[in-house]
Structure 1
């Protein structure tokens, strides 16, 4: 049920006494962890806290990347998905598109491509890893294009490094099939 479709309900809610509204609001917020964290960020944090959040994610990624080389493609895929998920959560909380693109570029640039092939199992997880990686790059590129041109200029070198890394690896065919550019200007 959408609130916009029920104008009487909206009017009744706005007519409630402030104390009652506060109670209802607090109950609703408590049911959604992301909303709670978003409100905490918006109301109680500032620019330095945003930088701290970014640095925490970068530190976590750096710690996990050293272990990635030892894993097979399936285990690496799971870890990389968790890293990207942490950036998605960061964006849901902070609504910072620049930080989201910046962090995804950092992760995508630092992740190695060569993993052990699993001896057991019938699936080739390197194909799944490649698909996930290339799709993530494509999504990040779309978000990059929506940024202000000055911000794009600041991040273009990192993006071009990423594209060069992809096209000089065994992921080149998948990137080409996905129409990823070889360079951005």
Structure 2
């Protein structure tokens, strides 16, 4: 139930003393890790911290994809499709958390582009048509991420879109390749 659905409870909470409200607020914040991260960012960090967060995210993504070298090879096997799908989901999770905390659209789009382009360039055989079910799942997941990324790019200022033109054309190439692999 939400506080808006129970006006009596909302009124009672608003009538609490400031000290009691503060105690409740701190207890509630501790129960939601994402809210805690968002508040920390909004209240205690500045532009320099944002740049540090972006650099850390990029390093984490690069590290994650460097690990793919040991887990994934450029051969169309069930294990490779499955491993790449898992790694892409991990990368997407890191980017989603960054987006929820910072609400920085440009760095989010940059990182999503890296997440989508890097494996395409390094494992092109995994983007070809395959009867293996894991390939279909991987292609469907990537196609959904591409659609989301194009929407995010469209919401950026046109100057920023221009800066991403080269990566956007690569993303279009990936989309066309995946569209041709569907049965």
Q: What range describes the TM-score normalised by the shorter chain of this pair?
A: 0.7 to 0.9
1:171 aligns with 2:178: yes
2:53 is aligned to 53
Q: Would you say 1:147 and 2:161 are equivalent positions? A: no
**Post-superposition offset of 1:142:** 1.3
Partner of 1:19: 19
Q: Is the CA contact 1:69–1:115 (under 8 Å) kept in the aligned structure 2?
A: no
**Length-normalised TM-score, structure 1:** 0.80
Q: For residue 112 of structure 2, what is the aligned residue in structure 1?
A: 104
Unaligned 5+ runs, structure 1: 117-121, 178-185
Superimposed CA distance per residue, residues 24-44 of structure 1 (whole angstroms, 9 cap, x where no aligned partner) = 000000000000011001101
Cα deviation code 1:64-114 (max 9, x no counterpart): 323324411111111111001110111111122222212111211212334
Structure having the higher helix fraction is 2
CA shift digits 1:1-45 (9 cap, x unpaired): 122232332222222111111100000000000000110011011
For normalisation by structure 2, the TM-score amounts to 0.81
Structure 2 unaligned segments of length 5 or more: list them: 73-79
Q: Distance in 1 between matches of 2:15 and 2:69?
A: 60
Task: Tell me, yes or no, if the aligned pair for 1:3 and 1:10 is still in contact at 8 Å.
Answer: yes
**Mapped pair 1:87 → 2:95:** yes
- CA distance 1:5–1:64, shift in 2 (3 Å): closer
CA deviation vs aligned residue, 1:125-162 (integer Å, no higher than 9, x gap): 22211111111001111122222333323323321132
Partner of 2:123: 113
Who is 1:44 aligned against? 44
For residues 103 and 88 of structure 1, what CA distance do their matches in structure 2 show? 10
Q: CA deviation at 1:166?
A: 4.7
Q: Do the aligned residues in 2 keep the contact of 1:3 with 1:9 (CA within 8 Å)?
A: yes
Aligned length in residues: 168
Task: Quote the Cα distance in structure 2 between the aligned partners of 1:27 and 1:103.
Answer: 34
Which residue number corresponds to residue 7 of structure 1? 7
Match of 2:31 in 1: 31
Tell which deviates more after alignment, 8-17 or 39-48: 8-17
